[in-house]
Structure formats: C-alpha cells, structure tokens
Amino acid sequence: MKKKWLALLTATTMVISLMGCGSQAATPTADATADETAPAADTEEAAPADESSSEASDSTLTVWCWDPAFNVYAMEQAAEVYKATNPDFVLNVVETPWNDVQTKLTTAASSGDLSTLPDILLMQDNAFQKNVISYPDAFVDLTSSGIDFTQFGTSKVTYSTVEDKNYGVPFDNGAVIACYRTDILEQAGYTVDDLTDITWSKYIEIGKDVLEKTGKPLLSCQAGETDVIMMMLQSAGGSLFDADGNPDMVDNDILKEVMNTYAELVSSGVCIEVNDWDQYVGSINNETVAGTVNGCWIMASIQSVPEQSEKWAITNMPKLDKAATATNYSNNGGSSWAVTSNCKNVELAADFFAKTFAGSVELYETILPSSGALATYLPAAESTVYTEPQKFFGGEAVFAKITEFAGKIPSNNTGVYYYEARDAVAVAITNLVAGADIDTELQTAEDTVNFAMGK
Amino acid sequence: MHRAKKRFSVGKKQNLVGWLFLTPAAILIVLMSFYPMIKALFLSFKTGIGTTMTWTGTTNYTRMFQDKVFMQALNNNFLYLIIQVPIMLILALALASMLNDKHLRFKGLFRTAIFLPCATSLVSYAIIFRSLFAVDGFVNTILIKLGILNTGYNFLTFPTSARTIIIIALIWRWTGYNMIFYLSGLQNIEYSIYEAAKIDGASPFQSFWKITVPLLRPIILLTAIMSTNGTLQLFDESYNLTYGGPANATITMSHYIYNMSFKYVPNFGYAAAMSYLILILVGTLALIQMKVGDKRD
C-alpha cells in the first residue's frame, strides 16, 4: 500500500511539475522578448530590460511597430524629442511585424484578456476600421485628448475615425507617386512632363510606344493583388462600399472603368503581371520595367540601386478618363498609431503624441532624410528639409512635391469588410483579364462580400 | 496493510502503475488538446464579429455549404487528395522496394537524398518553388534555352498549371517521408521469402505485387490515412506558394479558415465550424480506409 501511495505521489508530483513547467516557461519568454527589444530601444538608456508592458511604471510607454529603418526609428526619435521636456519618460519599442501585431491583437481581444497588449501599437490604415469595430473595447477614443487632428490630411484621418471618434494618430504617408526611368523614356522620345497630369488612355498610348521602341513595359503589378485597382479607385474618390457600408460594385461606374482600364493595361502589354512582391521590386530594380505607380514608400526600394541615381523622376499618377471626380492623386498603404485600452497612463500617451507626431516639425525634420518617413502632419511640409533637392530623383525637391500631392487625395471609405471586398475584386480582375464578362464578375464579387457580411 | 496489498494481483498492479505513468501525458493532452476542441465545438454554434458573439444553433454548418469560396476550397482539397496522394504513395512504395535491394550500392546516400526534402521547412520550400516557376525563374529559363518556349510562361497565373505546381511540390516534399515508413516495414519482411520466390521463377514485379504489397498492407493503410489527413489540412503551400490564387483556384480549406480568423473581419464561430467539417471529413475517410484496407481475419 505504501508503494502505491508513493507511486501516486510521484505521479502527482510529475503532473504538477509538468504544469509548473508550462507556466514557468512563460515568464522567461516574456523577459526574453523584453531583452530582445533592449537593443532596439538602446537610445533609452534607462529602459529596464525586465520590464514588461503590463507592469510598466507611470512614465513608461510600450510600443509595437515593425520596421527598424522606418517606424521604429521614428518612434525612438519621437521619444528623444519628448524627453527634452519630460526627462523621466521611458519608451520601450518591441519590434513586431504587422502580421504578428494583427494576430496578437486578435488573440488578446477575442480572449478578453488585454493585458498582453502594449500601450501603443502601429496599425495599417486598411485594417483600422475592422479592428476598432470588431474589438471596440480594445482601443482608446482620442477625440478629446488634446491631439489636434485638423493638422493632418483629411483623407488620412478618415481611416482611423469610427463613428466620428478618432482612434488613431496618423503616421506615414501613402500618397501615390508615378516613378519613371528618364533615360528609358528618352530613348522613346518622351520626358517626364509628357507623363504628368495625364489620363490612363494617354498613359497606355505612350506605354505602347515605349514598349515598341525599348521593349520595356511602363508598369509591373502583382497578379491577384489589387493595389493598382484600389489606387485608381480612390483617385476618383470611389470606394467598394457605399456610405452605409454596403458593398457597391455592380452599379459602380468608377469601379467598372477602373477594371476595364486595368484589363487594357495588361492586355496591351503596358503592364506586366508578376507573382509576388520580390519579383515586383525586382522588375523595377532590374530595369525590366520603365517605371511604377505606388505609394511613396516605394522610393526606399527604388533607391536600393545606387547606380540608377539621377535616372529616376517622380510625378503624379494618371487619372481616369471618364469619371467626373477623377484626379491625379491617390493613396496606397500607410499606418496610424493606436492607443490600446491596456494603456495605464492614457494622458501620458496623448501628451506624448500631441508634442511629437502631432506637434513637432522638428521630429519630422529629423526622420525624413534618413528614413524617408514622409509626414501626414501638414505643417511639416513647410519645413526647409522638405524643399531640399534629392539627387537620386534628378535633383528635384520630391518630398515637398509628394506632400503637396498628399493634400489633394480624395477620401475613400475602406469599410469594415475591406479585405473581403479586396479579395473578391482580385478574383474578379483575374477572371476579367482571362476574358470573363465584367458584369457577371462584379455580381459574383458583390455576392461574395454580401455573403461574408451575412446578408 | 498486508491484506490490502493482496487485493491486487501482479497483473493488476502492473496495470495500475502503467496508468499512473500515463496520467501526466494524458492530463496534458486533455488540457491542451481536448479542452480547446470542446471549446471550439461550442464556438462553432455561435456567430458574430470578434468578441460579440451569440448562439445561433447550426447556422454556421448550413452556411458553409452556401459559401462559394469554401466550396471551391473543398473541391481543391479533394483534387489534391485524389491526384496527389495515390501518385505519391505508389512512387514511395516503388522507391522503397528499389532501395531495399541488398545488392544496391550507396544505399545510404540514395535514402538520404530522397528523405532530405522532408527536412526542409514548409515555408522555405514553398517560396523556392514559387521562384523556380516565376516568369524569369529557373524552369522558364531552361524551357526557353531548350527552345520549347519563346517567352516565359507564367505558371502561377493559370488555374491548371498553378494546381499542377502545388501537386508537384507536394510530391517532392512528402514522397521521401512515406518512403521511410515503407522501408522500415520492409525490414520486417524476411528476405528468404523473396529468394524463394525468385527460385520459383517469380518476376520482380510479381514478387512486388504478391509479397511486398500484401505484407506491407498495415503500413500502406497508415500512410494513406496520414496523407489524407495532411492533404485535407493543407495550408503552407496554398498560403506561401500561390497565395490561394489565381482567383481562388488553389486555395485550401485551412487557408480560408485562416483568412476568416485573421485577415477578414474575424468570425471565429464560422471558422470553428469549418474546422469541424475538416475533422468530420478526416474521420469519415479514415474509417472508410480502415474498413477497406484492414483485411485481418
């Protein structure tokens, strides 16, 4: 009997110790995460390595963002700016890729345990509406927090506004630019001015000529991705949803024109389709194409080939021919800062933003030259740093130009079901390029989105 | 105390000790695996966005049969299953019996070479296949150099070729894995049986068909069930190699479930219901395979 009890005891101990392993393992992991972030946040000498977000002291803010050369850097510089007036302030940046931010946010919010979230996280503008509406309790309303949202471009603020409440501080700019290789255009007898303020039909006309004379298409696109479609759509103020949030595709004349234009771009050979992002960037860097149209953040990829310096020029994108509201300006990508409900010191976070991203021209002057982080904060555009000529782009003051573009972008309504709609349109455009009928395809796309919305 | 001890025979006592050793693992499995599964079952009867969910009975289960994308994903999964699994298993069996030959030299080298794809990460091999079949990728370069094509063929933008590439990738990745099972099974077959068959004048094909296949039946059954299970849960290839495209032509059920939870407006109830359909399908197919394949008397 004694032996039996002993065996039972041993077994129980084993079970308990195993379970103990599980919970113990969690703690070192959390520490490890904090440790890893320490080098990233090495500008903050005072950052204690073992401090996790949940037990942050009063003057500490933890932030999730993803790009060390871009938004992490910008955040650290902002901390420096803020520290000048608040010496106790400590910023703890945890480098987290966007997909992980989304997954962690989904997990934390749907389990109802927000304690794993940081104080501040960077969110893709396209996912903002979805996340705030899905998890209203996870975010802090910043409308009356002292941050002046009127200082940002309207189209940008719209992304992070839900039911007239501001949930996000706008950060980077996704203003669309058209980039062209001036040397290739020259071979075909064109200059950048010929491609400025033009329509898509003119673009296709020139594109065919360039293709014939140099063998290079003007544009490359990722097959099955709708970036170009969405850019064209927004350039005319169009959306995939109406004002009430219902999918609006079948009777959407702007969308139809966009889809037909895209199909023509592909069928004429002016645009070549590639399979993934690396091939897309490759086609630009390897001179497979003579230009591209994308958010201004694409400049970082273009500039990765130093030999092509002075061979690039930037101008605005082509506009739609028929749509009455057509412009040469649009937006693609971009992100905004959100404050989570796990933030213990919302006043500090709000004050931090009010004095940095929403109040410091100096901050934007610091981050622009080294990271190319273009502001959506309008007063920054008047800074002299923005008017400095950029050698790579033919000695033009491209940053001032893009900031000017940014102010002219029509607003668009992403809606909550943005990704569903985007994927449905991607299916439609793939079939359209393969020869399907546009009305049938749009009907299917609208049905798909309606179905996803449970209608 | 002594009397109490006698209540258990040796066999019973050993049994009890065995159970005690099993308990820790069993408790962990129940907590980590079965408990979430039961929670997911409850979840699959609820619907709503994010955290705001309400009970809706079996709506999610009827909903998925009206969902065109999910139906397409289901079709894709079965297409992979019907085409890829038989090819892979036959190939693995053939390779295993070839490599089991006693007179073959550099056996270890061949075995390692065929098994090696299994050691590659799912994500990296999918990405490598994608670049192999890119417009300016390796395969197109070869085809152009050989004069078969004039310009690069964009394999991943056409439904049939994209599906074919997924099937080729799967065969490359998993044949070696199944071969190892067959090889270990073959070690249990007495070599003298083959020698006897040879003396009786059986051709290599006959001895394969009449000796190897029947004696390996339990292992063939095991690999068939595992492959069916794996194919129905396929995710990495669809997610990384083709992104589910062109126009959802290669999307799998697991990929769609992932989108439903993490890319789209989260609908965990519906996602859980779809996961349960996969469970039911895997269970049913395994049951059928066991009924058909297990011929023990």
What pLDDT is attached to residue A52? 43
What pLDDT is attached to residue A8? 61
* Mean pLDDT within A37-43: 39
CATH number at residue A256: 3.40.190.10
* Mean pLDDT within A404-423: 84
Question: If contacts are CB pairs under 8 Å, which of residues 251-290 in chain A contact chain B?
Answer: 272-276, 278-279, 288
- Asked, for residue A10, whether it belongs to a domain, the answer is no
> Which residues in chain A are closer than 8 Å to B5, comparing Cβ atoms?
1
Q: pLDDT-based confidence at B167, cuts 50/70/90?
A: very high
Cβ partners under 8 Å of residue A176, min gap 6? A231, A235, A293, A294, A295, A296, A316, A317, A329, A330, A331, A332, A405, A409
What pLDDT is attached to residue B6? 60
Q: Is A7 or A404 the better-scoring residue by pLDDT?
A: A404
What pLDDT is attached to residue B3? 53
Q: What does pTM read for this prediction?
A: 0.77
Q: pLDDT-based confidence at A122, cuts 50/70/90?
A: very high
The Cα of A105 is separated from the nearest Cα of chain B by a number of Å equal to 10
Judgement on whether residues A427 and A288 belong to the same structural domain of the protein: yes
pLDDT for residue A447 is more than 80: yes
Judgement on whether residues A253 and A303 belong to the same structural domain of the protein: yes
Q: pLDDT-based confidence at A32, cuts 50/70/90?
A: very low
- Asked, for residue A258, whether it belongs to a domain, the answer is yes
> Would you call A310 helix, strand, or coil by DSSP?
coil
> Which residues in chain B are closer than 8 Å to A451, comparing Cβ atoms?
66-68
Closest CA to B43 of B279, B280, B270: B270
Q: pLDDT-based confidence at B177, cuts 50/70/90?
A: very high
Judgement on whether residues A164 and A44 belong to the same structural domain of the protein: yes
Judgement on whether residues A303 and A165 belong to the same structural domain of the protein: no
pLDDT for residue A17 is more than 70: no
The Cα of B178 is separated from the nearest Cα of chain A by a number of Å equal to 31
What pLDDT is attached to residue A21? 44
- Asked, for residue A24, whether it belongs to a domain, the answer is no
Closest CA to A267 of A322, A313, A335, A204: A204
pLDDT for residue A387 is more than 70: yes
The Cα of A354 is separated from the nearest Cα of chain B by a number of Å equal to 31
pLDDT for residue A207 is more than 60: yes
**CB contact, 8 Å: A8 with chain B?**
yes
What is the tens place of the pLDDT at every residue in A145-184? Answer: 888 888 887 878 888 888 888 999 988 878 899 999 999 9
Domain B65-293 class in CATH: mainly alpha
Judgement on whether residues A220 and A355 belong to the same structural domain of the protein: no
pLDDT for residue B217 is more than 50: yes
pLDDT for residue A54 is more than 50: no
* Mean pLDDT within B184-188: 88
- Asked, for residue A23, whether it belongs to a domain, the answer is no
Q: Work out the angle at residue B130's Cα, subtended by the Cα atoms of residues B127 and B136, and round it to the nearest 5 degrees.
A: 130
Q: Is B246 in Cβ contact with A430 (below 8 Å)?
A: yes
Judgement on whether residues A110 and A152 belong to the same structural domain of the protein: yes
Cβ partners under 8 Å of residue B144, min gap 6? B150, B151, B152
- Asked, for residue A19, whether it belongs to a domain, the answer is no
Judgement on whether residues A215 and A314 belong to the same structural domain of the protein: yes
Q: Is B3 or B138 the better-scoring residue by pLDDT?
A: B138
Q: Is B245 in Cβ contact with A15 (below 8 Å)?
A: no
pLDDT for residue A6 is more than 80: no
> Would you call A43 helix, strand, or coil by DSSP?
coil
Residue A296 sits at φ, ψ, to 5 deg, of -65, -15
> Which residues in chain A are closer than 8 Å to B247, comparing Cβ atoms?
224, 426-427, 430-431, 434
Q: pLDDT-based confidence at B181, cuts 50/70/90?
A: very high
What pLDDT is attached to residue A13? 58
* Mean pLDDT within B134-153: 83
What pLDDT is attached to residue A327? 92
- Asked, for residue A6, whether it belongs to a domain, the answer is no
What pLDDT is attached to residue A35? 39
Q: Is B154 in Cβ contact with A8 (below 8 Å)?
A: no
* Mean pLDDT within B120-147: 87
Residue B38's CB: how many other CB atoms inside 10 A? 11
Q: pLDDT-based confidence at B77, cuts 50/70/90?
A: very high
Residue A292 sits at φ, ψ, to 5 deg, of -155, 165
Domain of residue A65 covers: 34-48+56-173+333-382
Cβ partners under 8 Å of residue A372, min gap 6? A70, A297, A299, A300, A303
Domain count, chain A: 2
> Would you call A3 helix, strand, or coil by DSSP?
helix
Tell me the one-letter amino acid at A22. G
Cα→Cα distances A338→A59, A99, A117, A119, B265, Å: 18, 16, 11, 9, 18
Q: How far apart are CA A205 and CA B27, in angstroms?
A: 70
Asked whether the beta carbons of A160 and A128 are under 8 A apart, the reply is yes
pLDDT for residue B255 is more than 70: yes
Q: Is B134 in Cβ contact with A279 (below 8 Å)?
A: yes
Q: Are strands A120-124 and A60-65 parallel, antiparallel or unpaired?
A: parallel
Q: Work out the angle at residue B273's Cα, subtended by the Cα atoms of residues B270 and B277, and round it to the nearest 5 degrees.
A: 140
Cβ pairs A/B, distance under 8 A: 107
Cα→Cα distances A210→A77, A266, A312, B196, Å: 44, 15, 16, 75
Judgement on whether residues A157 and A96 belong to the same structural domain of the protein: yes
* Mean pLDDT within A311-334: 89
What pLDDT is attached to residue A42? 39
Q: Is A110 in Cβ contact with B156 (below 8 Å)?
A: no
What pLDDT is attached to residue A454? 77
The Cα of A43 is separated from the nearest Cα of chain B by a number of Å equal to 34
Mean pLDDT, all residues of chain B = 86
* Mean pLDDT within B185-201: 87
Q: Is B21 in Cβ contact with A11 (below 8 Å)?
A: yes
Asked whether the beta carbons of A124 and A335 are under 8 A apart, the reply is yes
Judgement on whether residues A278 and A151 belong to the same structural domain of the protein: no
Q: pLDDT-based confidence at A12, cuts 50/70/90?
A: low
What is the tens place of the pLDDT at every residue in A250-289? Answer: 888 999 999 999 999 999 989 988 888 888 888 888 888 9
Residue B214's CB: how many other CB atoms inside 10 A? 10
Q: pLDDT-based confidence at B114, cuts 50/70/90?
A: confident
* Mean pLDDT within B82-102: 89
Query: Which residue(s) pair with A92 in the sheet?
Result: A62
pLDDT for residue A30 is more than 50: no
What is the tens place of the pLDDT at every residue in B9-36? Answer: 888 888 888 889 999 999 999 999 999 9
Q: Is A419 in Cβ contact with B262 (below 8 Å)?
A: no
> Which residues in chain A are closer than 8 Å to B21, comparing Cβ atoms?
11
* Mean pLDDT within A11-25: 48
What is the tens place of the pLDDT at every residue in A94-114? Answer: 988 888 898 899 888 888 888
Judgement on whether residues A439 and A290 belong to the same structural domain of the protein: yes
The pair of structure tokens assigned to A98 is: 């966007």
Enumerate the CATH 1.10.3720.10 domain ranges in chain B, comma separated.
65-293
Q: pLDDT-based confidence at A5, cuts 50/70/90?
A: low
pLDDT for residue A53 is more than 80: no
Stretch (H or E) spanning A5: helix A2-40
Query: Which residue(s) pair with A314 in the sheet?
Result: A179
Judgement on whether residues A340 and A413 belong to the same structural domain of the protein: no
Exposure letters A319-352 (e unless 16+ CB within 10 A, then b): bbeebeebbbbbbbbbbbbbbbebbebbebbbbb
- Asked, for residue A378, whether it belongs to a domain, the answer is yes
The pair of structure tokens assigned to B164 is: 């074919």
Mean pLDDT, all residues of chain A = 82
Closest CA to A391 of A313, A314, A311, A310: A310
Judgement on whether residues A261 and A152 belong to the same structural domain of the protein: no
What pLDDT is attached to residue B50? 65
